Amino acid sequence: MTKQQVLDLYFLDARHKLIEIAAFLDRVERADGKEDFRLKNFRTALAKLDGKKKNRAKNVLLAFSDPTIKPIGKATSKGATGAYSKIK
């Protein structure tokens, strides 16, 4: 596809998602209480959208990922939060 075709097919969808992210950040900021590791991960991931860098999707996923290599001692839950923290 040409750049024009990609924009024709996906621009409005991407614009919609970008505004949703902006509104989410405003919503968190307005709310009372403390942030947690998820928002810190989120801000790190947002920085991966820098216009000069390639492989943005991969780099965003890496920003949310557990970078360690050893198995954990025991699985105490089944779910995932979507963001990595050394201390959960």
Partner 1 sequence: MRYIEPHAHMVSRTTDDYERMALAGCEAVCEPAFWAGFDRSSPDGFFDYFSQLTEHEPKRAAKFGLKHFCWLCINSKEAEDVKLAEEVIALIPKFLGRENVLGIGEIGLNKNSRNELRVLEMQVELAAKFDQLILVHTPHLEDKLKGTKLILDVLKSDKRIKPERVIIDHVEEHTVEMVLDCGMWAGMTLYPETKCTPARAIDILETYGAEKIWMNSACDWGVSDPLAVPKTALEMKKRGHLANAIEKIIFSNPKKFLRQSPNFKLGS
Rounded to the nearest whole angstrom, what is the least distance from the CB of residue 52 to partner 1 in the complex?
18
Please, which of residues 17-76 interact with partner 1 by CB under 8 A? 55, 57-58, 61-62, 64-69, 71-76
Q: How many angstroms separate the CA atoms of 30 and 21, rounded?
A: 14
Q: Does 78 bind partner 1 (CB under 8 A)?
A: yes
Q: How many angstroms separate the CA atoms of 1 and 58, rounded?
A: 21
Q: How many angstroms separate the CA atoms of 7 and 18, rounded?
A: 15
Q: Does 87 bind partner 1 (CB under 8 A)?
A: no
SS3 45: helix
- What residues line the site for partner 1 (CB under 8 A)? 1, 5, 9-10, 55, 57-58, 61-62, 64-69, 71-84
